[in-house]
Amino acid sequence: MSKTVDIIDLLSSSPGARHQLKVHRYGTPGARPKAYIQAALHADEYPAMLVAHHLIERFDKLESRSQIIGEVVLVPVANPIGLGQRVNDRHLGRYDLAGGGNYNRNWPDLTPVVEQEVDGKLTSDPDQNVIRIREALQQAVANLQVRKELDDLRKALLGLSIGADIVLDLHSDSQALFHLYASVHHQNLAVELGRDLQAQAVLIETEAGGSPFDECNAGVWWKLNQRLGAQYPIPLACFSSTVEHRGEQNVEDDLATQDADGLVRFLQRRGVINGNPGPLPEPQCEPTPLEGTDLIYAPAAGLVVYHKQLGDWIEAGDLVAELVDPFAESADQARTPLFSKATGLFFAHMGDRMVAPGAALAKICGSRPLTHREPGKLLEA
């Protein structure tokens, strides 16, 4: 099967204007394992798009050599709506300016409708159950209602991803070390992916909250397993991860090349691509629970001055940053110290230095769950 490129037209939000998705398809449709990769659902996270650019080069060569034995679907720009959002010549791609909120929140939970469809129709054969559940998932996506352009984008992306064995959602943070998120149900695969990508933090979620894209794809399987697993064998047939390619300014060919090579190696280990990935690289970190990641929030507006650097090891109680009020009447009243509640790696912080109250300034990943971190509310806005 030779490569194909499809164009998906999205619902027009205004007369005379239309956004499109471009979909690169490799391998044989329906072949297994199937991998789905998308870049920059938050449209201002540019490193992910550069990694996708390098993946296209690699997948083109692999396809020409007949080395793609499963199916690979790649969407190098997952959010053309956000890509076109500019205000006063500044690109703003994290939130839908039409009022839809964070592009990577509030994805639909397909579990209830799929459970209703498959309950009583599954058997003792796990492979046949996977096929039946995937059929129900595809139908559930096909039945999603579209009222706005954002609805159409979500339906289109889910239509491409929902039947995949592997779903990789490529992002970047504001300023950060390489890290990734995955479910506790797939910790071993997350560690393997982290080793191939040389991630410096692997954050394992129990109940992240916010309904992000990765959980929309993989979560339905463990939820169905919890609800129906006592009656029928239901494998966890989709591994999904949100992969954070450092910070938004790390748009560099050498880093993107390194990351694309790591993703290809991971797909080789998973049997999607033929070839020898070589020995698994040594881990750069141990996986840590997302409940153990301290998010330091700004208690007021002000200038942020960081006293620790990304990659520093932080002890609980350490001063990480100070918030400076430029309106303060004296210098000794101007500074508010911000301390870490976690012991762990300082792996991400905001790029902006003038912040509003409630801004998530810094992230420190620790190995112990923190009492103030609530399950279901673990992701920032």
Structural domains in the chain plus CATH codes: 4-286 (3.40.630.10), 291-366 (2.40.50.100)
Q: What is the DSSP letter of 282?
A: P
Question: Per residue in 272-325, pLDDT tens?
Answer: 999 999 999 999 999 999 999 999 999 999 999 999 999 999 999 999 999 999
Q: What is the DSSP string of 140-160?
A: HHHT----SHHHHHHHHHHHH
Measured CA to CA, the distance from residue 51 to residue 35 in angstroms comes to: 16
- What value does the mean pLDDT take over residues 222-251? 97
Residue 197 DSSP code: H
> Which DSSP symbol is given to 37?
E
Alpha-carbon distance of 311 to 344, in angstroms, equals 10
Phi, psi of 92 (to 5 degrees): -125, 100
Query: Buried b vs exposed e over 97-120: b needs ≥16 C-beta within 10 Å?
Result: eeebebbbeebbebbebbbebbee
Distance CA 39, CA 51 (A): 8
Q: Count of residues for the chain?
A: 381
Q: Which amino acid is at 3?
A: K
Average pLDDT over residues 199-208: 93
CA–CA distance, 222 with 218 (Å, rounded to integer):
7
- What average pLDDT score do residues 11-37 get? 96
Residue 310 in tokens: 């990304």
CA dist 119 and 123 (Å) reads 10
pLDDT at 206: 86
Can you give the pLDDT at residue 380?
Answer: 81
- Binned at pLDDT 50, 70 and 90, residue 351 comes out as very high
Number of other residues whose CB lies within 10 A of the CB of residue 377: 11
Query: Is the Cβ–Cβ distance between 308 and 346 less than 8 Å?
Result: yes
pLDDT at residue 181, as a whole number: 98
Whether pLDDT at 365 is above 90: yes
How high is the pLDDT of residue 70? 97
Q: Write down the pLDDT at residue 1.
A: 64
Q: How confident is the model at residue 103 (pLDDT cuts 50, 70, 90)?
A: very high
Q: Could you report the per-residue pLDDT of 109-162, keeping only the tens digit for each?
A: 999 999 999 999 999 999 999 999 999 999 999 999 999 999 999 999 999 999
Is the predicted pLDDT of residue 59 greater than 80, yes or no? yes
Sign of CA dihedral 84, 180, 61, 31: negative
pLDDT of 2 reads 83
One-letter identity of residue 164: A
Q: What are the phi and psi torsion angles at 212 (to 5°)?
A: -75, 170
Phi and psi at residue 104, in whole multiples of 5°? -110, 35
What secondary structure does DSSP assign to 290-357, as a single string? GGGEEEEEPSSSEEEEESS-TT-EE-TT-EEEEEE-TT-SSHHHHEEEEE-SS-EEEEEE-S-SEE-T
